[in-house]
Each structure stands twice: as structure tokens, then as C-alpha cells.
Structure 1
């Protein structure tokens, strides 16, 4: 029988590792609430101490580009770190390349995180869900609960850091960044990105770029 995960245990693990609350809860669940085992789980994932660095100023970094085969889709991304030294490291460059490719593959992604999504977009998505036919005759409380769940799912679809990393689907982009924070010892932030689709805004044949990029990545592994 699994031990109950207490708020005190989560707080203790967070204080010892600096990892996020959600990551601490998952580690405790996986370790049956054994703090030392949970610490090892977080260390293996590269999450321990990452959040402690996440508030530090990141003003260095690089602008990375990715052009997909066929030159029909391109991405520009600015990713920041704290020092020029880390900005020159191959691991940092690879992280930038991987995230740029992720953006190319995930056509639904429009924002860095849920926190970056404007309030009017959230309100629009919620209103859209509330007006759907399958919710019309449901009680207000049930209607709101279902709509909120659908909106939460939709916002995650729009958020880059909430995506599963296409090269390692058991972790998210957020966890990938935290691993590199722990590895390189500096705060790392995605500042901005832009995706370019050939002929965007013009009437043209639609191509499934997400499947195309994903298949390309799989073939290289």
C-alpha cells in the first residue's frame, strides 16, 4: 500500500533539492514517500537544484535557427543563459536546436508557457467550450467543470514548455530545460520564438509538418 503524500514531505523535498512542487510530488509517489530515494530520482532526471537557479538573470545566450528539409518551414528562437561561457557550450547549442525543431514539429504551439497566453485568449477558449452543443443541457456546475478541463488541455496544447519532447517523449520541454539548468549550472530561459511557414496567409495546399518532422527525427535515431 502506497504511503500518503503529505504537503510536509513535498515541502521538505523541495527545500532539499530546489525542484518544482509537481516534480517533487511525482518523485515522492515513485519512491513511496521515501525522501532519500525521491532525491535520487530527481537527481537522475537532472531536476534537483534547477528551480533554485530559475530566478537568476539570464541575459546571454544565442539565437538559433532551424530550417526543415525542403525549406518550407523555419524557426527562429532566442534562448538565454547567464554567461557567454555557457552560451558557447555544445550542450546549450544542442538544446537550442532541439527546441527549435520541437517548435517546427508542433504546429499548435504559439506561446512559451501558459503564463504567456493573453487573458483574452483564455477567455475566448473558455467561451468557445461553453457554447458547444454537448454542454448545452448540462447543469451549470458540471458544464463549468467540463469546460475548464477542456480549456486547461487546450492551453497546454498552445504552450511550448508543456509539450512532450519529441526525441524523448517521457519528459516535457520544461523538464528538458531543467535538466540543462542542472547540467550547466545556470538559469536558462526561452525568451521568444517565431515560426515561418512557406506561403502562410496565402491559399495553398496544407501539409502535415508535424508528422513530417517527427518522422524525420525517428529516422535519424
Structure 2
């Protein structure tokens, strides 16, 4: 029986196994998909299928930099224990380097990229799920770059070099040397890790977030019982304060607790004798935005018993 691309895809979708493993399974079973699923299960290669339904909110954030270009990548696992696994760490490190090489701004860009040692990145991930025994997912990637200057990385709560729970990249456009940009970038990255800015500047703040905050501010101001025009001025004041506190360039530097980040960068440029511009940044915090499933052990036991 001929083995078609559609048959291979069907088997991949059903088993969660890699493409080459699916082709081998179909060859072993004369193209019979049902028999191929069983063959993969006996080889331990379809183990990823059941695990793929589990919530993966732990894992690692990786960062990689090559001079004027840097990438951050988040890879999730089910438990924090896996983050200490050398096989998982090696995978995240290699995947981040691949994301940097391809200039990835989403994980779809690299899923079919050639993985060191053979196969694709997705196939390696599927193999890891089967051997490590936990669901793992490529969640997000972001690459930033400058034409001249430096991209500086920082990892908070590092589990290994360039791997941790919070990964930060800072893009500094300048003619200044590494001796100036590296320490400045590290300090700015530490600030970003701690202060969690929502955008580079006020214009970049998410409009949905701003509208939600404006609604909250309006409700609070209305409770004052003041005239509508005064209420609107109070709302505008609240929104100006929100923008200042959440846009990176206007945030107060956590190291001295008084200087706006924009002024910190400007002063560094004056001291170096050449302009320095903070053009972009990335802050990935492990698992942010993922809703973790709460396990009800009693319900699980009852379900297993058919109650």
C-alpha cells in the first residue's frame, strides 16, 4: 500500500509522533494507520498524544544574542522539576539559538527548522515529551535588532546560563562601544524585569488596556459626586499617571528610584560622548497569562472508578 503525505499527516495528528517515526510505522504496517498507531505505542513513540492535553505552565525562558540581534523564547512544561532536566535545558538552549538564527517573532517560524543532530525542532520536541514524560510546548518567540549598537540580555532566577523564569532583551542603538552599552543594558534589563513595563512609550500602550483603565478611573471619579467636567479631568489625570507608570521610558529607574529611564539613557549618552537610544525591549515571564488547571484528586479517582 502506498504511503501518502496525507496518511503520514493523519498518523502524526493521531499519535503526536514525529514525521520520520510515522513514516517508519506506516512502512512496518503496510500503510495501515490503525496498526501504525499501535506500533508507535509499543515503541513508546505515541506517548506524547495523551500528555498533549495537560496544562504546561512551567518550563524555561531562553535568551540568545549575537551582537546587534537578540531573541527570547519560552518553552513550557508541566512541572518546575523538568526545568532542572539537562535534556530539557539543552533543548530550550538549542531552540533559542534556532529562533535567533531565523529571526523568529513567533514559534511557527521555527517548528520545521532543522534541529542539531537531525530531524526538525517539532520532532525533537515530540521525542522529548515521550522520553521525559511531560507535555512541553513552544509558546512564543520575539526577536529584536538594531542597525548599530548592541542587544543586551538578562535572565532573572537563572536555572542555567541564559535560561530562567524571566528573560529580558534590551536594544540600544548607538555608536558607543560594548564597554558602555553592556553595563547600561544590564541595568535597564534588571529594571524591566522588576518594573514590568507594558510598552516602550505611552503611544505603544495597548488600547484595550487603556480603555479598561479609563473605565475604572471614571467609575472611581464618579463616586466623588463632583460635576461631570471635573470627573473627566480626574479621569485624564489618572490615565496620564497610568501611562507614566507603565511606559518604560517614563518609568522611574528602580536603581535610584528618582530618574526616568529616558533620562538615564540620555545621561549615559552624554557621558559616552555619543547618542544612545533605547529602541525596543522584550520581557518574557514564564507562564504569564496561562491559566493553570486545578487538580481535583477526588474527582479524578471517581472518574477512574467510573463513579
TM bucket by the smaller chain?
0.5 to 0.7
The 1:72–1:120 alpha-carbon spacing in structure 2 relative to 1, beyond 3 Å, is closer
- Corresponding residue for residue 195 of structure 1: 283
Find the structure with the greater CA-based Rg: 2
Normalized per residue, which structure has more helix? Answer: 1
Give the alignment of 1:20-169 within 5 angstroms.
59-70=147-158, 71-81=164-174, 83=175, 86=176, 88-107=177-196, 109-117=197-205, 121-132=209-220, 134-135=222-223, 137-169=225-257
Task: Measure the CA separation in 1 of the matches of 2:239 and 2:157.
Answer: 34
Higher strand share: 2
Deviation for aligned residue 1:134: 4.5
Find the partner of 2:259 among 156, 166, 171: 171
Structure 2: runs of 5 or more not aligned: 1-145, 159-163, 293-307
User: Could you say if the C-alpha distance between residues 203 and 127 of structure 1 is closer, same or farther in structure 2, counting changes exceeding 3 Å?
Assistant: closer
Question: Contact (CA 8 Å) 2:221, 2:235: kept in 1 or not?
Answer: no
Cα RMSD (Å): 2.5
Q: Which protein, 1 or 2, shows the higher relative CO under an 8 Å CA cutoff with sep ≥ 6?
A: 1
TM value normalised by structure 2: 0.42
What corresponds to 1:46 in structure 2?
A: none
- Give 3-state SS (helix, strand or coil) of 1:68's partner: strand
Matched residue, 1:54: none
1: CA distance, partners of 2:242 / 2:170? 23
Q: 5+ unaligned residues in a row in structure 1: which ranges?
A: 1-57, 205-221
Structure 2 CA distance for partners of 1:104 and 1:128, relative to 1, 3 Å: same
**Contact 2:222–2:231 under 8 Å retained in 1:** no
Offset, 1:75: 0.7
CA distance in structure 1 between the aligned counterparts of 2:210 and 2:277, rounded to whole angstroms: 23
Structure 1 185/170 Cα, relative in aligned 2: closer, same or farther at 3 Å?
A: same
Cα shift readout 1:58-90 (whole Å, capped 9, x = no counterpart): 841111111012421111121111x2xx1x331
Q: How many residues align?
A: 143
User: Shift of residue 162 of structure 1?
Assistant: 1.5
Distance 1:118 1:69, change over 3 A: closer
Say whether the 8 Å CA contact 2:172–2:278 is kept in structure 1. Answer: yes
Contact 1:135/1:143 (CA < 8 Å) preserved in 2? no
